[in-house]
Every structure is written in C-alpha cells, then in structure tokens.
Amino acid sequence: MGKLDGKVAIITGGARGQGRSHALTLAREGADIVVCDIAAQIDTVPYPMATPADLEETVRLVEDLDRRCIAVQADVRDGAQMRAVAERAMGEFGRIDILLANAGIAGFASAWELTDEQWNDMIAVNLTGVWQSCKAVIPHMIAGGRGGSIVITSSTAGLKGFAGSAHYVATKHGVVGLMRTLAIELAPYNIRVNTVHPTGVNTPMVVNDYMREVLAASPQALTNLLPVEMVEPVDISNAILWLVSDDARYVTGVTLPVDAGFTVK
C-alpha cells in the first residue's frame, strides 16, 4: 500500500533535478505521473537547461517502478500548452490529484544591471508559468470533486532578499502571494495549496560552471545553519510527499522551508 495509490500527479520541470526526484518519490508511493518540461534552452538562462533525452530518462525511471508515466514537452509560460498537458493527463488517466509547479530558471545580476529580457523571462517562467500551470489544472481538480493538492516550489529566496538576483527573488516571493490566494479560493473544494522553500539543492541549476563562478565570488552568502553545503533533491521530495499525502490533509497555505536552517540565520 502506497500513500498515493490511485492518484495522478502532474510535475512541471520534470526532466531532471528536483522534478525528476519528485516523480520517482511519488511513483514509489503509487502515483501515476505526467511530467512536462520545456527541454530546450531559453536564451537568457546562463547554464544548460534540460534536453528531450532527460525527459525520456525520467519516463524510463518511473516505468522501472511499475508506474505509468507520460512526458510532454511543454513550456509553462504558454497557457495553451499547459492546458494541453492537463488534457493529456485527463485523457490518459481520467483524473488529476496533484500538481507540483516546480519548473524554474535562475540567473544573477544586480537589480539595476538586469536586462529587460532577463527580467521578463524570469517573471514569465517562475511566476506566470506557475500561474498558467495552476490555471490549467485547477478546473479538472474542481470537476473531479475529490479535492487535491498543489505544491509550488519557491526558494529561501521567497522568504528573504538575496543580493544579485532581484528578478529571481521577486518571482519566488510572488508565488507565495499566489499560493496564499489560491489556498483561500480552493479551500471550499478541499484543494490544498502550499509552497516549499529549498536552500541550495544539488541539481544542474546550481552545479554548473556559471554558478560555481557566481558562488565563488560570495562564499558566505549560501551557508546553511546545519553542517551541509547543499541538500539533495530527495530532501525536497520527502517534504513534498508529506504535503501531498493525507498525512498533511489539513495543511494548507503554509510556506515550508527545507533549508537546513538557512532562513533563521
């Protein structure tokens, strides 16, 4: 018996990193999975993004767990594409119980030196993309009449400021406002909405040449309270598994840090 037997989860940004780890964690508990990912490069993103091969690898790993998995190449910025992801999930599985709005991009520059393109792309992916994902899925959750759970991946940058990443920080705070509003709007339907706030996580978003250079310039900036340099994707997956399971059935509207004590420093 898994904690999520019979449930269906949509995970954005599921080609690699945390999204892939969430897919495997939820599948191990019995959920069938729909992953979507842009699986292509966005020009203003200063490190390599996921590829179609990454997306296929997530499918293979979920299927190895004897769960069903559909992958859709889709851009969270595009409402029509996100509606198509939700419709594909309904067509194949007939229900959507869980949405993990996890897709995101990062980048660094002083607030006054960001280009318009860097700012606009960040807002489009990390804030508008989360809203588009929710907007596409929520009508199906409501129509299903079984409740549901939405978890948005914010960041410690959604709880405090960080020099050098105003656009990222603004989006990660922005999704907290979206989450709090959705939690109120969706409570009558027994749909719960929460955010998770990871500290640095060992994924290709931060483990790359560009980020190594940025972090070397400010070594103290990302020091955790607990003695760990970075947490692992599964640490975020475990918190999300709890949030989407019945163990957290009356938890909604919360900002859950998984941050090795980073935000209380």
**Part in contact with ligand NAD (CB under 6 A); list of ranges 56-64, 89-97, 99-107, 137-145:** 99-107
Integer Cα distance of 181 and 175 in angstroms: 10
Structure tokens at 206: 């931060």
Q: Does 10 bind ligand NAD (CB under 6 A)?
A: no
Q: Which stretch binds ligand NAD (CB under 6 A): 2-10, 17-25, 182-190, 243-251?
A: 17-25
Q: For residue 218, what are its two tokens? A: 């400010």
Q: What are phi and psi of 47, to 5 degrees?
A: -145, 160
Any catalytic annotation for residue 210? no
CB of 14 to ligand NAD, least distance (A): 7
- 129 vs 174 by CB, closer to ligand NAD: 129
Q: What residues contact residue 259 under an 8 Å CB cut-off, 6+ apart?
A: 156, 197, 198, 199, 224, 231
Q: Give Cβ neighbours of residue 227 (< 8 Å, ≥ 6 apart).
A: none
String marking each residue 163-202 x if it binds ligand NAD according to CB under 6 A: -----------------------------------x-xx-
Would you say 4 or 106 has its CB closer to ligand NAD? 106
Q: Output 75 or 235, the one with its CB closest to ligand NAD.
A: 75
Q: Measured from the CB atom, is 7 or 77 closer to ligand NAD?
A: 77
* CA angle centred on 137, ends 132 and 140, rounded to 5°: 150
> Candidates 7-15, 25-33, 83-91, 213-221 — which segment interacts with ligand NAD by CB under 6 A?
7-15
Is residue 224 a contact residue for ligand NAD (CB under 6 A)? no
The set of residues, in sequence order, having a beta carbon less than 8 Å from that of 138 and lying 6+ positions away, is: 150, 182, 186, 191
Q: 3-class DSSP state for residue 71?
A: strand
Q: Report how far residue 217's alpha carbon sits from residue 150's, in angstroms, rounded to the nearest whole number.
A: 36
CA atoms of 90 and 112, how far apart (whole Å): 44
The answer to whether residue 129 forms part of the interface with ligand NAD (CB under 6 A) is yes
* Interaction of residue 13 with ligand NAD, rule CB under 6 A: yes
Whether residue 251 contacts residue 243, with contact meaning beta carbons closer than 8 Å, is answered with: yes
Check residue 16 for interaction with ligand NAD (CB under 6 A): yes
Six-digit token pair at 99? 């949405």
- Which positions lie near ligand NAD, rule CB under 6 A? 12-13, 15-19, 37-39, 49-50, 75-77, 102-106, 125, 129, 153, 155, 198, 200-201, 203-206
- Residues recognised as catalytic: 168
